[in-house]
């Protein structure tokens, strides 16, 4: 995965540690993701993201023109142990500008075209209205709501037939 119209998507590397850490220590980013993560827990998560034996794929999102760090996007095993889930975190300064939608659409298309997946899911807190709206915008449909992590979660999905072209 190389990118979208406005973004470069680069495989996560050890040198991204401090920039990615900004996501895990920002109260606004973590509002619907369980809160700020302590250094020791973050270090373990980051090490796992960088592990080549990890079955997940993690990309750092950068703006093409300025190379500024925007956030993180991934494809990994969902909590159900079966589905592939798209996850994303963007720094607040990039919210509301269409970057999340653009990146999510690009990753979904990549999952279908390059990885041969037939279905992708996303899970977000139902209270995270902006995330729910973005998932609908990229063609995902609400599949179910469940209680997990002490809050109602909305699980969205998209099948290959519903994927749109970039």
29: which residues sit within 8 A by CB, 6+ positions away? 23, 89, 90, 91, 92
Residue that has been written with the tokens 């190379």 in this structure? 67
Name 36's Cβ contacts closer than 8 Å, sequence gap at least 6: 24, 25, 26, 27, 30
160, burial (CB in 10 Å: exposed 0-12, middle 13-18, buried 19+): middle
Distances (CA, A) of 60 to 3, 74, 125: 10, 9, 23
pLDDT tens digits, one per residue of 101-157: 999 999 999 999 999 999 999 999 999 999 999 999 999 999 999 998 889 999 999
DSSP 17-28: HHHHHHHHT-HH
Q: From residue 13, give the alpha-carbon distance in Å to each of 42, 64, 101.
A: 15, 18, 24
What is the tens place of the pLDDT at every residue in 48-90? Answer: 999 988 889 999 999 999 999 999 999 999 999 999 999 999 9
- Token pair of 17 as six digits: 């540690």
Q: What is the pTM of this model?
A: 0.92
């Amino acid at each position: 995965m190389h990118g979208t119209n406005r973004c470069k998507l680069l495989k996560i590397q050890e040198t991204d540690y401090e920039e990615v850490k900004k996501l895990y220590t920002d109260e606004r980013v973590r509002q619907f993701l369980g809160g700020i993560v302590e250094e020791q827990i973050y270090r373990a998560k980051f090490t796992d993201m960088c592990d080549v034996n990890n079955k997940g794929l993690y990309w750092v999102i950068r703006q093409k023109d300025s190379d500024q760090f925007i956030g993180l996007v991934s494809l990994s095993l969902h909590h159900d142990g079966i589905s592939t889930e798209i996850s994303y975190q963007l720094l607040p300064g990039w919210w509301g500008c269409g970057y999340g939608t653009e990146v999510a659409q690009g990753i979904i298309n990549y999952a279908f075209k390059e990885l041969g997946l037939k279905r992708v899911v996303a899970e977000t807190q139902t209270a995270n209205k902006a995330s729910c709206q973005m998932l609908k915008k990229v063609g995902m449909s609400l599949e179910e709501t469940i209680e997990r992590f002490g809050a109602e979660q909305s699980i969205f999905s998209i099948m290959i037939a519903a994927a749109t072209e970039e």
